[in-house]
Amino acid sequence: MRVRVENVRFHYRLGEPVLKGVTLDFEGEATAIIGQNGAGKSTLVRLINGLLKPVSGEVRVGDWNTGDFSVARLARRVGLVFQNPNDQVFKSVVRDEVMFGPKNLGMSGDTALASSREALADVGLEGAMDANPYDLSLAERKLVSIASVVAMNTDVVIFDEPTIAQDYAGVQRIGTLIEKLKARGKLIIAITHDMDFVAEIFPRAVVLRRGEVIIDGSTREVFSRPDLLRDSFVEPPHATQLGQALGLSETVLSVDEAVKGIKGHRSRLGGLAGSDTAHDQQFFQ
Ligand SMILES: Nc1ncnc2c1ncn2[C@@H]1O[C@H](COP(=O)(O)OP(=O)(O)OP(=O)(O)O)[C@@H](O)[C@H]1O
Ligand SMILES: [Mg+2]
């Protein structure tokens, strides 16, 4: 499924523009949307799932113009995990919460249950079916809200800050789940402040600044522009920063790539790998 955002303008209050003519085309590639607080990221994804309608311009999900469809209809195509799970979770039993969306889309009880079980297992909460979501931690509640959306099996799945409040295991689990959804051909869009997560999972990144797209490209291209990122208060992934600090010519996105880059750099300096010469020390100063 393709999502097209065409010259979209939006404000909550007249005279205070939040999106100032945003054009983006999403098709195939999983995309990360990044940028400072208040840039308009959550607003953009609420326009894609139809909770908000553009003031001008249009948003198309497949052949549907969101202006012509209710949020309930659009939910057949677009699932959105809210930034704050407390705005999303409303049932008092996890099972009912996760099955609500699938049932609403018309899945039979059995299919909805199977889909909900699988989604809860994907987020590591298979044992929480009978829990009250409000007895869970905020991080677990976020995982419940992720499972609720994934269980709906929509073609487009949008995550607003999926890894917020998660520990390392939670982040890994969410990464694995997104990879699984990608492999199933879902269109994935995620807003995140976690740049290591962007580098690991998303081939494309879009940077929003004060309601405008300032960079849209492969994640490697985007992270190779520290000047533009600095203006948006975005710090590249740790491995990328290391590579840049060491003066590697290529932009690296992972520790493995950084290590390869360093080895290559050292061998170009004269086969110094593993040695402790003046050259070596100079390189690491
Ligand atoms: N419901 C609302 N009513 C009025 N103004 C709003 C509303 N929601 C967001 N805003 C304002 O719109 C602007 C963009 O907000 P948005 O939530 O889209 O930013 P964001 O990029 O998601 O930020 P964050 O990284 O903090 O989540 C901000 O100035 C915000 O205060
Ligand atoms: Mg937001």
Q: What is the pLDDT of residues 246-260, one digit of tens each?
A: 889 899 999 999 888
Ligand 1 within 6 A of CB of 233 = no
Q: Could you give the CA distance from residue 191 to residue 160 in angstroms, rounded to a whole number? A: 5
- CA of residue 84 to ligand 1 center, whole Å: 13
Cα four-point dihedral sign 104, 109, 115, 117: positive
Ligand 1 within 6 A of CB of 209 = no
For the chain, domains (ranges, CATH) are: 1-77+154-235 (3.40.50.300), 87-153 (no CATH), 237-285 (no CATH)
- pLDDT above 50: residue 61: yes
Kindly report, residue by residue over 220-275, the tens digit of the pLDDT: 999 999 888 988 889 999 999 999 998 898 999 999 998 888 888 777 766 544 44
- CA of residue 171 to ligand 2 center, whole Å: 18
Q: What is the pLDDT of residue 271?
A: 54
32 membership: H or E segment, kind and range: strand 31-34
User: Could you tell me the pTM of the whole model?
Assistant: 0.92
Cα four-point dihedral sign 212, 74, 162, 137: positive
Question: What percent of the chain stands above pLDDT 90?
Answer: 84
Question: What percent of the chain stands above pLDDT 70?
Answer: 94
The stretch 14-27 carries a mean pLDDT of 97
The stretch 123-148 carries a mean pLDDT of 96
Which amino acid, 131? A
Which residue of 9, 11, 43 sits with most ligand 1 atoms within 8 Å of its CB, as the best mutation to test the pocket?
Answer: 43
- CA of residue 271 to ligand 2 center, whole Å: 48
- pLDDT above 90: residue 168: yes
User: Which ligand 1 atom minimizes the distance to the CA of 193?
Assistant: 25
Which residue of 18, 37, 161, 208 sits with most ligand 1 atoms within 8 Å of its CB, as the best mutation to test the pocket?
Answer: 18
The stretch 166-190 carries a mean pLDDT of 97
Torsion angle, alpha carbons of 285, 221, 42, 183, to 10 = -110
Q: What is the pLDDT of residue 282?
A: 45
Q: Which two tokens stand for residue 85?
A: 């799970």
The stretch 117-142 carries a mean pLDDT of 96
- Please classify residue 247 by burial: count the beta carbons closer than 10 Å to its beta carbon, then call 0-12 exposed, 13-18 middle and 19+ buried: exposed
Closest residue by Cα to atom 29, ligand 1, is: 38
- CA of residue 123 to ligand 2 center, whole Å: 22
Closest residue by Cα to atom 2, ligand 1, is: 12
Which amino acid, 241? Q
Cβ–Cβ < 8 Å for 71, 77: no
- pLDDT above 80: residue 153: yes
Q: What is the pLDDT of residue 270?
A: 65
Q: Could you give the CA distance from residue 115 to residue 174 in angstroms, rounded to a whole number? A: 17
Q: Give which of 130, 182, 191 is closest to 164, Cα–Cα.
A: 191
The stretch 48-59 carries a mean pLDDT of 98
Q: What is the pLDDT of residue 60?
A: 98
